[in-house]
Structure 1
């Protein structure tokens, strides 16, 4: 029967007997995949960011053609000095409207502003109704009386707060986006669209007198993509810092260069494979190559550390490399396999952007198995270490031994009990604190960007000056054909809307019923007493007939009518409150022929995403820990060995969630994967330490001595890895992207505390689980 040791021995013989062939294969694959990596593009489509199989999104997709989607753009054109009724402003507004209309990817039928023919006013006159476009066809912006006429029409149209700001200093141009670019026939490139908006709208028309403010998903993604370009700078800084620390650790320029090169090769392979599979990099997964580089360095350090120790024992570099390959193939392979499977557990989350992150990270870690466990020892076997190499470590080794002897005290029964008790207290605190963690964004504006970013400042201005924003949610009322002509149906919609308008967090609302009441009052000399829904069907039809389908308040056969709720913000608490109210109130009005369906609009998408994240949180944790437990059981063939590795990981994951509540970081699409990433990478420390301890324990060596010898062999590499990884991601706190800063803080915490868990809590647990060997 072929045992694991025999299989590793066979691989070692095959690899090191054909070193040049192995290097030639790696070189050819690196050149090929390197070329493929140059073809990789940023990809940030709207549908990747939403859980398409969620019930809310099923409703959203079903009615998207009739009522548009949540992917819209708002452009607020503002006069810095006075109100909008001047020639310069209206000339600029017209240019903005026309320019936006002709940008590829904009749904031209859905572009609306004061200049749109569909923007009309209606007034009651002696002969009945009179009305027309807010801006007449013969409008002359240089004519003062024409401007005054437009002011009157704006007030009559009832669009103050929606298309014109409350203080008359801004006017809105609203547009919806297409999924397909009509010029290319391909999926709309939102990042390219955002660049066009910046150059062709803001760049051309903003000046000392006029300011332009643009918000919407596509613009936000564009700003995130621009911020993500800074990742290249952080990547360069990480390479420099890591290279310096590897040199200080290894005392060899050759080993430092080889470690860095192999880790960079793993990144090149990862990006090349992504291109071959037809994937792109979105702004969130653009951080993954950095993590792959960091993981590669951490495992590379283990390899060069093992080579260095064997050389100092008297072996040649080639023999030392072979020995390092044999000794690290199993623990390194299991650790990297645990990382890979841990990242794959993110596939349970039904959001495209997270699934692509899972695939991207898994490919990268799988590649490291080849580049760092095969390529690195083969390359190392060719280097030459000088005669003074051993002398560099004499004093260092003596100092380290004293330190390791002191640290091994954690593996005594007395100290082990103290450490475990402290860990239980921390766990209880973390569990209590993590219970307060909220799902979704906890701050105003786009959570991916800092509050001071231009996008968020534009959002705050529009929210302040207008009664509507992109923070709206549509409850789609489905009924029978021509249901809008039924008084009972319309009354149910009106009552539901009134109750929802009074829910905390709802700023304003509009529906077919509320507009029909205004029209009915208009038929009765504008008397407010007649602002009701007519019980007579003919009168009701008369009121509804004046509301076109282009208003977005009804579909073609009047069987679907949205109730649009404009929210104060999109904070997690606000969304949860409003959705809970919808679910509660709709029960009072729903019948077999009348359904109130959630949800459309940007906040509807956020609500679905928050629920998807909440639903995936626990399964993701079960899967990631289940995968780690299974692989540890297969590797160590011992339940207590598995528990010794996994329990510190679980403690750290709970403490990380507690840290999120303390720092006011919500569980979102960007922060949810951090826990899985932290666990996947953190398990490496414990596996490397325990794999050495296990060998010693099988020889009946006492626990403390086994831990001491494990520290001698792997301790410096584990400490170095934890510190290096933490320093690398800690630079993210200076990022222009808030979500990268949040990820950097959380990953720094998890890297450091997982390392501490491996060198403090793991031996403490071992001292109790193997108490007979004290």
Structure 2
């Protein structure tokens, strides 16, 4: 076959394995292919062992791992966590009487039974649990004989009309309407603070088990005539874990779609099965190793196994395609496997390193859950180096491909071009390329304008991780509509370790901050030592309204604080050194949190002293504000690192700054357009979406690497831009298009996932897979027309692997050695 008609490279066609010199190629290649059986045996043994480990991999979540551990707000919270009970991980159970109000003997009896069972759930911080049946919920009243008070639930309650009327009076006197009792008094709340570890076993709280227990209790008591609504991190995490079972079905559908499309392309069962099997083997190894090093699968790392599978399929399909085309030319399957290994190993290794970097840079995000994801994914990519770059060619050297598939591959690469190939070749025409580049610039500028509106954090009320019509979000909506105090709490931590907080100056400063917070849009109301102490001060003076104030007299103020501590022990610690100011927010959207943070920081800058400090932040909204700041800081820092490392890897591979520009510029366009898409779809940058943005760069470079590796090789051999691109399309370009379309279709199935952030990931990944493919097949050749012209000295030696694509005359001159094939 003459050079002009050969669409591959100049490696000689060797039809008999006896004519191939096993001493040719690099030392590493000889080490792999001259010890094939040992490698296959070792991989089989490892797969069996790690498969057993993978079956034991647990599924859980962690409240602490969702917090940016070294953020100043979180450090402040953890330093004072013992004095801020109830402002961390908690559950809210609302028990509704759909057929009446709460003053119903049957309702009260059901509430008592449920309260007692909730009290005994694992991980409950029982000292701070609140409900109508908890004695810590008290009422206080001033009478002509002095103070009077007691538990809201009468100690002699017997279900009689008199007892119910007494309960009604106590509820009004306690001021819990809107907090523990609904505004319409048709439901009441059980507030359940949780510990991160089970107090009995000492093990981390099992959210799946807790969710199952809660669902069982809910089902048990709803048949008794009440309706139950549950919100809180533990419920959300449990729902996400439960939803993983459904997500796995979508992953299975995606894997089947990938298999079907690859088979439709190859029409070869054995090679398709090996590509899928090696990619699944990498997933098994990754899951098994996760168990061995003590990790569990959580809702935010659930995408990792599929990403490993997708990356493996992408690389495996390139190896399979190269071997298939060589066999179609008449090369023996063993020799074809080694040829493909020589051509594509460096490109594949560089691409996998770029993928690994895309995952590894996530570790700069100061959120343990994301750092765990980064480590787990990096391990998975390292495994792919073994399973898809080494094991797959070895297996294909044994099995080869079907004769019909090889012949079909040869027919598609013998110069009789498909209309799609002819269409893509038009992008090497300078006139067409000019318009493509101008259109790309215009599209990128438009994307930049839109992406400026990209928000950090949640953009929706409720739990945006779930669908708006999910049970959790319906429950959240019910509680928001029927209770005055929302579940979105932002707590400012007031500390005074030396002089304590039971002095007039400190309490007045707390009152000033409360007043400013109450005037802020997005804040429903506030609560603190100051606001709770005012009516209690008046109660000590016959309830006179003029005494609803903060008194300068130390004795009066101290009595007021004692009463607050007795009624609400979470509002000040026993040492009077820590007290929270809690702002109840209308939602936890990014704008709401930002306005609160800005106000409190400004107040603290003016009013902090050497002893008295106003520190941010506690409460679920305070923790989310810290998370948003961490994500905002890491977003562009992370992208900058990804691009920097990808550029270095491409430079090492291509040895040409022009080739690096050609490879990287389409990725930059994808990043800009992905951010614009997030704006249009109402998706904010947060913990769930941040990894996808980085992965789009790390995985997207794969396409350009495979295409440009072959393109540069042919360009250096004297081909024109058009001819070099044609041959690249016929060798690796077809598979780039195949994988781009395949993976886009596969992840698009996630759109129907019950977990909304999973659906968001599916949309973003499908867009990135597809647009990176378009960038490689359209923008890369258009850039190459101007940046990679075949002039002497323009393209330096690409890399040892590309140099290995030259004619191997020594393979024909050396004495042949036999090898088992």
Q: TM-score range by the shorter chain?
A: over 0.9
Instruction: State the Cα distance separating 1:423 from its structure 2 match.
Output: 1.1
Task: Tell me what 2:330 maps to.
Answer: 314
Task: Tell me what 2:185 maps to.
Answer: 168
Matched, 1:26 2:43: yes
Of structures 1 and 2, the one scoring higher in RCO (CA 8 A, sep 6+) is 2
Instruction: State the Cα distance separating 1:395 from its structure 2 match.
Output: 6.0
Task: Tell me what 2:3 maps to.
Answer: none
Q: Contact 1:70 / 1:602 at 8 angstroms: preserved in 2? A: yes
Instruction: State the Cα distance separating 1:405 from its structure 2 match.
Output: 3.2
Matched, 1:614 2:632: yes
Instruction: State the Cα distance separating 1:527 from its structure 2 match.
Output: 2.3
Task: Tell me what 2:518 maps to.
Answer: 501
Distance 1:480 1:358, change over 3 A: closer
Instruction: State the Cα distance separating 1:385 from its structure 2 match.
Output: 4.5
Task: Tell me what 2:532 maps to.
Answer: 515
Task: Tell me what 1:534 maps to.
Answer: 551
Task: Tell me what 1:488 maps to.
Answer: 505
Task: List aligned pairs for 1:206-217, cutoff 5 A.
Answer: 206-207=222-223, 209-217=225-233
Instruction: State the Cα distance separating 1:402 from its structure 2 match.
Output: 4.3
Indicate the larger mover: 532-541 or 653-662: 532-541
Instruction: State the Cα distance separating 1:593 from its structure 2 match.
Output: 2.4
Q: Contact 1:231 / 1:287 at 8 angstroms: preserved in 2? A: no
Task: Tell me what 1:334 maps to.
Answer: 350
Matched, 1:411 2:425: no
Task: Tell me what 2:120 maps to.
Answer: 102
Runs of 4+, deviation exceeding 6 Å: none
Q: Contact 2:146 / 2:540 at 8 angstroms: preserved in 1? A: yes
Task: List aligned pairs for 1:606-645, cutoff 5 A.
Answer: 606-645=624-663
After superposition, the C-alpha distances for 1:139-198 in whole angstroms (9 at most, x for unaligned) are 112x01110110011000011001101110111111111122122221222222222122
- The match for 1:266 among 282, 288, 311 is 282
Task: Tell me what 1:366 maps to.
Answer: 382
Instruction: State the Cα distance separating 1:327 from its structure 2 match.
Output: 1.1
Task: Tell me what 1:350 maps to.
Answer: 366
Q: In 1, Cα distance between the equivalents of 2:763 and 2:564?
A: 52
Task: Tell me what 1:711 maps to.
Answer: 729
For the residue of structure 1 that corresponds to 2:399, the secondary structure is: coil
Task: List aligned pairs for 1:204-603, cutoff 5 A.
Answer: 204-207=220-223, 209-383=225-399, 385-393=401-409, 396-397=412-413, 400-481=417-498, 483-548=500-565, 550-603=568-621
Q: In 2, Cα distance between the equivalents of 1:178 and 1:565?
A: 23
- The match for 2:34 among 17, 21, 35 is 17
Q: Contact 1:701 / 1:773 at 8 angstroms: preserved in 2? A: no
After superposition, the C-alpha distances for 1:653-711 in whole angstroms (9 at most, x for unaligned) are 11101100010001110000001111111110000011011112222322222111111
Q: In 2, Cα distance between the equivalents of 1:643 and 1:194?
A: 51
Task: Tell me what 1:126 maps to.
Answer: 144
Q: In 1, Cα distance between the equivalents of 2:334 and 2:717?
A: 28
Q: In 2, Cα distance between the equivalents of 1:461 and 1:401?
A: 59
Q: In 1, Cα distance between the equivalents of 2:483 and 2:187?
A: 9
Task: Tell me what 1:733 maps to.
Answer: 751
After superposition, the C-alpha distances for 1:53-79 in whole angstroms (9 at most, x for unaligned) are 101101110111111241011111111
Q: Contact 1:121 / 1:153 at 8 angstroms: preserved in 2? A: yes
Q: Contact 1:225 / 1:283 at 8 angstroms: preserved in 2? A: yes
TM-score, normalization: structure 2? 0.91
For the residue of structure 2 that corresponds to 1:418, the secondary structure is: helix
Q: Contact 1:346 / 1:673 at 8 angstroms: preserved in 2? A: yes
Instruction: State the Cα distance separating 1:21 from its structure 2 match.
Output: 1.3
After superposition, the C-alpha distances for 1:331-385 in whole angstroms (9 at most, x for unaligned) are 1111111111221010000101111111111111111111111111111122255
Matched, 1:154 2:154: no
Q: In 1, Cα distance between the equivalents of 2:152 and 2:598?
A: 39
CA RMSD between the two structures: 1.8
Q: In 2, Cα distance between the equivalents of 1:472 and 1:559?
A: 21
Q: Contact 2:324 / 2:405 at 8 angstroms: preserved in 1? A: no
* Structure 1 residues without counterparts, runs of 5 or longer: 1-5
- The match for 1:186 among 203, 211, 232 is 203
Indicate the larger mover: 279-288 or 435-444: 279-288
Q: Contact 1:482 / 1:558 at 8 angstroms: preserved in 2? A: no
